[in-house]
Amino acid sequence: MQTRFLKAAISVFLIALVVMTLGLFAQPAEAQEGKIDPNTPVSNLEGILAIPEASSEISSAPFRGSGKLAEIAERQVDPAEKAVGPVGSPIIESVIGADGRSKVSPTTVYPSRAIAYLYVTWANNAAGSCTGWFIGPRTVVTAGHCVYNTASGAAHGWAKSIKVYPGRNGASTPYSYTTAHRLFSVSGWTGSTGNPNYDYGAIQTVATKGTTVGYFGYAWQSSNSFPGTYTVRGYPGDKPNATMWTMNGGITSVNTYRLWYQIDTAGGQSGSPLYKTIDNVCCYGYGVHTYGTSVSPFFGNSATRIRQAVFNNFKAWKAYKYP
């Protein structure tokens, strides 16, 4: 009797173990992501990726590109594209006092040409705009919420498509456009919480526009001292459609994950570079602009800070296989 009872107990245990194991692997990627390191990279094609090895580097150098314009016949907006509001509409103004932004024209001078207008379409075919910046021949950094929608509903999940217009100036597209092949973010953003501290991502583009328009360098530091002048430049939705605007200022507050400043921004500038010149070399990104004045504990607009883990992911995404 005891032997039969023991065998039955062992059978029940084994069945339960199998069910638990199958249940673990049957969970969607989002559920698994919530249980792993929030710095873990993910993509829309492969799902969860390996965390890249820590790099001893603290910066990656910029590249100015050839600047060669697209053929005249190519310099047109996709006729299927419509004027849209920013991702995350309605527009949340983040102008602090008098508007200090100025319009960028021409947009064909580096580093402006390495900044791109993004036309983002979600799973439900709703569309919105964001900003991105090249860090490699076919790698464009942007906000996590520009590649992955954490809101519930039909638009939830990875963007359905993204058009990337480097150096766009209204209806003028001097470098034509390319499209997204692969999207990246991290589990801290794509998981169930959508943590603002991990709100960053990247686009791997079909065409190597970065060889022409150039790309930004990027850097990280352990110090919380950020002296000097920084710039936020991108495509705000409160200005004429798809026009580039810029403003300079200083870093006013810092924590482990974010950088705050009094630089004016508006919806549509999500994903813009927060950058500066180092030793007379332009330009190095130190953050990815993501939010207006709503993110505590400090007052001001803010960027996701490029920490070592962010730097490591940028480096891995830049080197990621294509296609």
Residue 185: active-site member = no
**What are the CA-CA distances from residue 7 to residues 13, 43, 179 (Å)?**
10, 45, 60
Distance separating alpha carbons of residues 191 and 144, to the nearest angstrom: 11
CA separation for the pair 258, 289 (Å, rounded): 10
Structural contact between residues 271 and 146, judged by C-beta atoms closer than 8 angstroms: yes
Q: How many helices (H) does the chain have, and how many strands (E)?
A: 5, 20
DSSP H/E element including 212: helix 210-213
Give, for 311, the enclosing helix (H) or strand (E): helix 308-318
List C-alpha distances in Å: 178 to 44, 70, 162, 317.
18, 12, 9, 18
Q: How far apart are CA 170 and CA 225, in angstroms?
A: 37
* d(C-alpha 43, C-alpha 47), whole Å: 5
Q: Which residues lie across from 251 on neighbouring strands? A: 261
| Residue in 43, 145, 185, 272 annotated catalytic | 145
Torsions phi, psi for 232 (to 5 deg): -115, 125
| Options 129, 270, 272, 302, the catalytic residue | 270
Would you list the DSSP string of 111-159?
A: TGGGEEEEEEE-TTS-EEEEEEEEEETTEEEE-GGGTEE-SSSTT-EE-
66 annotated active-site = no
Active site members: 145, 270
